[in-house]
Amino acid sequence: MDLSLSRLLFRASHRKNKIMQPIREELGLGRGQPRILTYLSQHGASTQNDIAAYLDIDPAAVSRMTEILRKNGFLTRTADEECRRSNRLELTDKGRKAVEIWESEIMIVEKRLLSGFSDDEARLLKEYLVRLIENMQGARHE
């Protein structure tokens, strides 16, 4: 078994996504869309650029995903009064309900993921993952 850190992180992420896929599909959401809805739930009305910067994803991808979310009734788009070239995105009732269900399911999956870990081990794992993410920010392949 390949125990490289990159492979382990990929496998863990892949398995979590596989577990969450039926829930995402039941909610009528595509890949990546729950992260956008969760962001809006936590930060309130935001621009696509705000979302892209926070989630560290391509603004064009955010544009495509938010347009689908808007068409499917999960969010609304209004002109930003401060910058007329920009739009503000905000959750609808349907979007808030989807986030509520998604977050509830995430908690169940997280409990499963941390099964057999002590509270200290779970805390340390989270701290280590935060450090890994911080170490990767701005990093380039050398």
In a domain, 123, yes or no: no
pLDDT at 69 over 60: yes
Distance between CA 73 and CA 18 in Å, rounded? 25
Residue 106 domain-assigned (yes or no): yes
Is residue 91 included in any domain, yes or no?
yes
125 within a domain of the structure (yes/no):
no
pTM metric for this prediction: 0.83
Can you give the CATH number for the domain in which 49 is found? 1.10.10.10
* DSSP states along 57-119: --HHHHHHHHHHHHHTTSEEEEE-SS-TT-EEEEE-HHHHHHHHHHHHHHHHHHHHHTTT--H
Angle between the 48-55 and 33-43 helix axes, to the nearest 10 degrees? 110
Burial of 85 (0-12, 13-18, 19+ CB in 10 A): exposed
Give me the number of domains the chain comprises: 1
Is 37 a domain residue? yes
Structure tokens at 18: 């596989």
- Helix/strand/coil for 139: coil
Kindly report, residue by residue over 93-136, the tens digit of the pLDDT: 999 999 999 999 999 999 999 999 999 999 999 999 999 988 88
C-beta of residue 98 within 8 angstroms of C-beta of residue 77: no
Q: Is the pLDDT of residue 12 over 70?
A: yes
Stretch 78-96: mean pLDDT: 82
CA-CA distance, 34 to 66, in Å (whole number)? 11
Domain that holds residue 13: 5-115
**pLDDT the model gives residue 133:** 86
Residue 57 maps to a domain: yes
Nearest to 88 by CA among 119, 49, 124: 49
**Does 129 map to a domain?**
no
Residue 58 phi/psi, 5-degree rounding, is -60, 130
Helix (H) or strand (E) holding 121: helix 119-136
On whether residue 139 sits in a domain, the answer given is no
pLDDT score at 59: 92
Residues 39-66: pLDDT tens digits?
999 999 999 999 999 998 999 999 999 9
